[in-house]
Amino acid sequence: MKINVSPNITIRLFTPEDHVTLFTVIEQNREYLKQWLSWLDLVKTSSDSQTFIETCIYRHNNQESSSFGVFYQTQLVGIAGFNKFDFANKSAEIGYWLAQAYCGKGIITSVVNTLLDYGFKDLELNKVEIHCAVNNLKSRAIPERLGFTFEANLRQREWLYDSFVDHAVYSLLKREFTQ
């Protein structure tokens, strides 16, 4: 599955062949990403990325989640997708990360907007949430820019290497989404 976001940006489901490229992007951005992503120490080799991709494919096929590679001018630059589906309640949670060199170009904002369109129209979701660390202002700017409603702070929600961090929870309802 591939979705064109703009002339320069596409998202697509991962294939097993993507594991080396994904590992390379993670490796090149490890220190930058480690500020906010707790799973980086679990990715030590390209086979770890291969296992991640196999899990993504399994979870997508079982309608548990959908992780897309974010491509800018055909180059893999990050991941975005639905981290978790709750089809019984017509809701999902979106997550994302981007290589440092590609931040500030509007890529993730455009990608999340496209995911919202896909989620509300094709998947018939009613509610989409984004959770991010309270102090991760760049990540929080995405749902704020897209008209999400701030719902809550979840205290000490995530262990991030040496301390707990609080999460901000944002949501957008289908009736609030304007394309």
Q: Could you tell me if 149 and 172 are in contact, meaning their C-beta atoms sit under 8 angstroms apart?
A: yes
Query: Cβ–Cβ contacts within 10 Å for residue 15, how many?
Result: 11
- pLDDT tens track for 128-150: 999 999 999 999 999 999 999 99
- The answer to whether position 163 is within a domain reads no
- Tens digit of each residue's pLDDT (9 = 90 or more) over 81-105: 999 999 999 999 999 999 999 999 9
Domain containing 89 equals: 2-126
pTM (whole model) above 0.75: yes
- The total number of structural domains in the chain stands at 1
CA angle 170, 107, 24 (to 5 degrees): 105
With respect to residue 40, please indicate whether it lies within any of the assigned structural domains. yes
140 lies in some domain: no
Q: How much is the pLDDT for 178?
A: 81
Q: Has residue 95 been placed in a domain?
A: yes
CATH number, domain containing residue 40: 3.40.630.30
Asked whether residue 8 is assigned to any structural domain, the reply reads yes
